[in-house]
Structure 1
């Protein structure tokens, strides 16, 4: 029951798209932007020309796009498209930046989790989050754990994962395990911490395996998903 989560180029800076078009310079200077390539990427995300210019100017000034700010991490998608086993969620942020998340999944269920609490520090292209609570619910099933992790341009790492908590209303669970299945992110694979268990005594379906995963990308913000 595997799922593949693909962050398809975000103009909210899925850093894969945007950061690759920012040329590092001296810390006292403004970053250099490959404007034409970035314009093309933004237009492909259905961002109009005026907004595209504003976003590029924001990046040139070393500012963070709204799609990567913690205050907007729980924003709801403006459009959700479901086709067979693929779910696409589209997000738009106050400054006009956008993000598209496409999920390929098993037919049972996937729900978006939350990362909250703890102590979070962040700069333009980096963040460090300690004692963060990773949580999600699906019907009568609720699960959570705590984690320390960090990320920046070309770097993602989960330092700790601990204190799992599971609730199955009207049922039980077994085979609980919490592991960092990939400690360091690579260019093609997120760092992953995974809480696994089997929920039992559920009405209609009896039992099901559950995965709550924290994913820290090589470029971009951490996120959480629950697969049932």
Structure 2
């Protein structure tokens, strides 16, 4: 996996920024998606999902031939490289818009891609020391509405998101960074799950630790299941971490 800090890609293990991402811990890194039984044979993926998958791939300049190969993989019950936790991207592209939001695109050997959105570091109003514990995931958070005062920064409707084309999951969060104090998450809400080449089932969205402690960041988790067509359901999650005057995300899918 990879870590991104301040826009730089550092090899290590999609709301991550300049601070440490509460990682997919090494002991729990194995994505359950990879454990799904690969069912060989023709799978009938609905036409509208194929169109949506191709539109997603075309957005990231995946050529038509590669699009067809990737669709064929799904129809044969095979998992894209972008969904396998032990497969590293072969290339990275970074785009930014006028608002300063940064999109990190991971490109894999089979042509699949994963897109995450990164908040610009310039949004911070006070200096914070980066913290990088454990294995780190790519950045996936956009900040929403940001307000601040002396020694704090409040984020409203920040989006935590990771989109691989096959699975697109996100939720919103309101949280506050307290300079030199304990950061906290007020609420999480507005989740959405999209499955292409399979179905998604929501199982929970909750704050798992409301306030940062000396040892642990505050956190929230979106849990869901993804069921590839003609294969068993697998457990997936997307997490938000807030602490050390920064925020980050981790995922398993």
Which TM-score bucket, shorter chain as reference? Answer: 0.5 to 0.7
TM-score for the superposition, normalised by structure 2: 0.48
SS in 1 for 2:183: strand
Which residue of 152, 166, 188 maps to 1:126?
152
> In structure 2, what is the Cα distance between the partners aligned to 1:162 and 1:173?
17
Counterpart residue number, 2:11: 80
Matches within 5 A, 1:94-113: 104-105=25-26, 106-108=29-31, 109=85, 111-113=137-139
2:185 aligned with 1:165 = no
Counterpart residue number, 2:205: 178
1:49-87 deviations in Å (ceiling 9; x for gaps): xxxxxxxxxxxxxxxxxx7xxxx5xx131x314xxxxx2
Report the Cα offset of residue 176 of structure 1.
2.3
Matches within 5 A, 1:1-228: 72=6, 75-77=7-9, 79-81=10-12, 87=13, 104-105=25-26, 106-108=29-31, 109=85, 111-122=137-148, 125-138=151-164, 140-152=166-178, 153-201=180-228, 206-217=232-243, 219-228=244-253
1:3-29 deviations in Å (ceiling 9; x for gaps): xxxx9xxxxxxxxxxxxxxxxxxxxxx
Going from structure 1 to structure 2, the CA distance change for 1:155 and 1:120 (only over 3 Å counts) comes to same
Unaligned runs of 5+ in 2: 32-84, 86-135
Going from structure 1 to structure 2, the CA distance change for 1:202 and 1:136 (only over 3 Å counts) comes to farther
> In structure 1, what is the Cα distance between the partners aligned to 2:20 and 2:186?
28
Any conservation in 1 of the 2:153–2:176 contact (CA below 8 Å)?
Answer: yes
1:78-119 deviations in Å (ceiling 9; x for gaps): x314xxxxx2xxx9xxxxxx9776763323338534221521
Report the Cα offset of residue 211 of structure 1.
1.0
TM-score for the superposition, normalised by structure 1: 0.53
SS in 2 for 1:112: coil
SS in 1 for 2:211: coil
Across the two proteins, how many residue pairs are aligned to each other?
140
> In structure 2, what is the Cα distance between the partners aligned to 1:173 and 1:202?
11
> In structure 1, what is the Cα distance between the partners aligned to 2:162 and 2:194?
11
Any conservation in 1 of the 2:19–2:246 contact (CA below 8 Å)?
Answer: no
Any conservation in 1 of the 2:24–2:251 contact (CA below 8 Å)?
Answer: no
Comparing 146-155 and 100-109, the one that deviates more? 100-109
